[in-house]
Amino acid sequence: MIDTIQLGTPDRTALLDITDLVAGKVREREVADGLCIVYVPHTTAGVMINEGADPAVMQDVANTLEKLVPWKAGYHHGEGNSAAHIKSILVGGSVQVLVEGGRLLLGTWERIFLCEFDGPRTRKIHVKILRD
């Protein structure tokens, strides 16, 4: 079984903490130990694990990605959102988190973020939990 979370994103770029949503799916499945796979099936969004304690970190990540991959830079793609495609590739479309004792085995400061690069849109997040 695969759980799918739908989430609206507020801006063109938004890094949204989805840890509690994913942890909720782990609880619903009542899996004590295993592996949780989070997959974002979009070409202009992604998912990553990084620090969630200080919101300034995600602000810095978003700002740095914007500098590395500006919205306009002579791209060829007719849809006009190549920057979002490239950022999606850089960030990646899936993460895996170990599950132990019914909880996501994340580090102290780690959170899972949905990375929107061409919003606002409604995004899907697939969650698959494999039992040990």
For residue 94, give the H/E element and its range.
strand 94-100
CB of 76 to Zn ion, least distance (A): 11
- Closest CB to Zn ion among residues 20, 79: 79
Residue 81 makes contact with Zn ion by CB under 5 A: yes
| CA distances for 88 relative to 46, 108, 109, angstroms | 5, 26, 23
Residue 88 makes contact with Zn ion by CB under 5 A: no
- Closest CB to Zn ion among residues 88, 99: 88
- Closest CB to Zn ion among residues 25, 87: 87
Residue 13 makes contact with Zn ion by CB under 5 A: no
- Closest CB to Zn ion among residues 22, 115: 115
Residue 132 makes contact with Zn ion by CB under 5 A: no
CB of 33 to Zn ion, least distance (A): 40
DSSP lists the bridge partners of residue 92 as none
Stretch that binds Zn ion, among 26-34, 75-83, 102-110, 120-128 (CB under 5 A): 75-83
What residues contact residue 33 under an 8 Å CB cut-off, 6+ apart? 99, 100, 101, 131, 132
Of 27, 36, 34, 33, nearest to 2 (Cα)? 36
Spatial separation of the C-alpha atoms in residues 27 and 19, rounded to whole Å: 12
| CA distances for 40 relative to 8, 56, 87, angstroms | 13, 24, 14
Residue 79 makes contact with Zn ion by CB under 5 A: yes
Residue of minimal Cβ distance to Zn ion: 79
Q: Which chain residues interact with Zn ion by CB under 5 A?
A: 79, 81
